[in-house]
């Protein structure tokens, strides 16, 4: 996303990333650069370079995400209130309340008077509050963290692993939940060698030995695809290729017990087309030209991932013994896949692609998270439950009406019921998955259709606590049993 150091801090670098900026926008960013440079005068980073270089790098990272100019200006000044003598009043006078409020939000995320586990938990809590208040504050912090992790070699060795692990477990997970695939991958890859050095070396070795489809063979496939798609009048915006990120590769290798022969997507082609209809037409043309690998087709357009990701995925035999993954999506889907929530907050997108109501829906899980964290008393529970309920691999299942419900991997019908409404969970009498009656503890799989049967006389059993996966379901079950314990115990002893 950005180089490790920024010796060139000319605002023109940011302007080049945002070609449609007005002169007023440019003046704001230039003013923020000058203001931050003066405020941080004389301050140095551990690398020995001026501290201003870091905040400028944060601004560049925000510009790459195509964020609005107020957010970019706030990113450039994100450490001014915390690390310099500039006051909130002075900043408000120069830049107005909105930008100052963004900087204040980032400052609050940075001020922690705790240590150890407590510090980590309080950091998380502050993230959640900031997310519910203004998601831009969190995006600034993620772009700040990206440059910090890219320059981690200058930090004391005893701090490197802690910072890198926090980046993988918190910042990258947040980026993922916000649909910001590019930022997530860069955070993970930068932190990977500091957290798991041996695994990093092994992954690099395996990557170098995989011998994915050659560049020459890829070019032949691309040329054949372009010719065939043109014959069938499928419009193409462009065809790109991507190499799988190292941390993502390691995660996949772990799932396959380090068997590299089961990795098909080291190299992938991305076909960008104008409309959704073109995606499916292109898929038909591709499958007519190349034989698809069985079981390797996924339709994330009809059923998007929980973070909003949409694309068609297929893997083909290229004809010379190689396999190649092909992803087909529209330009808007690609923007969403790369930048997630940021793609709806950019200076040229506000009010265009997504309404305020839709935007709130996209980050509605942050409010659930805020409500959830109020009920977690112990720091150890907070971290373990957080990973289970919000940052774990997700499954998405359906109600009988076709509404998508996003749950942690390993969830049961009980978790599903409580995610719909606590009253439904409290009175489950049975469950059907894909039309068949199943035990309540049955683990849900992607694309299952769940129907919950409810009876007023039914009530939670103590064994449900072990059958449930999510903290919210477990808490609701305990709460019901506590409030109705005498009655439940009476029935249990019959």
> Where in the sequence numbering do the catalytic residues fall?
82-83
Phi-psi region of 90 (alpha: psi -120 to 50; beta: other; left: phi over 0): alpha
Cβ–Cβ under 8 Å, residues 405 and 420 = yes
Structure tokens at 327: 């992803």
For 249-331, where are the E strands, in sequence order? 267-273, 298-299, 312-317, 323-330
- Taking CA atoms, 342 is separated from 157, 162, 202, 335, in Å, by 33, 27, 34, 9
Tokens 């705790």 belong to which residue?
114
Do residues 20 and 348 lie in contact, with contact meaning Cβ atoms separated by under 8 Å?
yes
Q: What is the Cβ-side half-sphere exposure of residue 226, based on CA atoms within 13 angstroms?
A: 11
Q: Taking every pair of C-alpha atoms in the chain, what is the biggest distance, in angstroms?
A: 79
Helices (H), 40-134: 51-64, 69-76, 80-83, 88-110, 116-133
Q: CB of 128 within 8 A of CB of 366?
A: yes
Contact 405, 398 (CB under 8 A): yes
Rounded to the nearest 5 percent, the helix, strand and coil shares of the chain are 55, 10, 30
* Strand spans (E) along 164-246: 238-243
- Distances in Å between the alpha carbon of 68 and those of 21, 63, 132, 344? 10, 8, 19, 10
CA distance 261 to 382: 38
């Amino acid at each position: 996303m950005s180089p490790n150091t920024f010796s060139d801090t000319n605002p023109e670098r940011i302007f080049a990333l945002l070609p449609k900026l007005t002169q007023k926008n440019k003046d704001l960013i230039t003013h923020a650069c000058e203001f931050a440079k003066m405020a941080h005068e004389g301050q140095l980073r551990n690398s020995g370079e001026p501290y201003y270089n870091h905040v400028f790098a944060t601004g560049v990272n925000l510009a790459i995400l195509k964020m609005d100019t107020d957010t970019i200006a706030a990113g450039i000044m994100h450490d001014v209130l915390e690390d310099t003598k500039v006051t909130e009043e002075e900043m408000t006078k120069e830049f107005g309340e909105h930008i100052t409020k963004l900087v204040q939000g980032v400052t609050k995320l940075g001020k922690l008077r705790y240590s150890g586990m407590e510090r980590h938990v309080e950091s998380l809590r502050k993230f959640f509050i900031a997310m519910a208040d203004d998601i831009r504050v969190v995006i600034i912090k993620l772009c700040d963290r990206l440059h910090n992790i890219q320059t981690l070699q200058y930090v004391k060795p005893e701090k490197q692993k802690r910072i890198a692990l926090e980046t993988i477990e918190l910042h990258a997970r947040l980026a993922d939940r916000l649909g910001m695939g590019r930022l997530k991958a860069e955070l993970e890859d930068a932190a990977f060698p500091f957290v798991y050095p041996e695994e990093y070396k092994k992954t690099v070795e395996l990557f170098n030995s995989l011998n994915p489809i050659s560049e020459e063979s890829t070019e032949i496939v691309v040329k054949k695809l372009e010719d065939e798609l043109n014959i069938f009048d499928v419009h193409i915006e462009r065809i790109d290729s991507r190499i799988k990120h190292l941390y993502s590769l390691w995660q996949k290798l772990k799932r396959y017990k380090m068997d590299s022969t089961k990795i098909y997507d080291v190299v992938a082609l991305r076909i960008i087309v104008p409309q959704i209809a073109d995606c499916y037409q292109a898929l038909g043309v591709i499958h007519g030209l190349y034989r698809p690998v069985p079981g390797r087709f996924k339709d994330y357009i009809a059923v998007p991932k929980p973070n909003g990701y949409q694309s068609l995925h297929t893997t083909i035999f290229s004809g010379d013994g190689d396999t190649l993954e092909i992803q087909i999506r529209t330009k808007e889907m690609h923007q969403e896949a790369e930048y997630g929530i940021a793609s709806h907050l950019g200076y040229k997108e506000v009010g265009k692609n997504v309404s305020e109501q839709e935007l709130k829906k996209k980050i509605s899980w942050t409010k659930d998270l805020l409500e959830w964290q109020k009920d977690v008393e112990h720091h150890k529970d907070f971290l373990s439950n957080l990973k289970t309920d919000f940052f774990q691999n997700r499954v998405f299942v359906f109600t009988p009406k076709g509404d998508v419900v996003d749950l942690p991997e390993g969830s049961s019908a009980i978790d599903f019921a409580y995610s719909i409404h606590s009253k439904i969970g409290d009175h489950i009498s049975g469950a059907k998955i894909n039309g068949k009656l199943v035990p309540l503890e049955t683990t849900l799989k992607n694309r299952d259709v769940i129907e919950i049967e409810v009876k007023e006389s039914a009530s939670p059993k103590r064994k449900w606590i072990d059958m449930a996966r999510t903290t919210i379901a477990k808490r609701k079950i305990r709460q019901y049993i506590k409030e109705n314990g005498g009655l439940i115990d009476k029935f249990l002893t019959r």
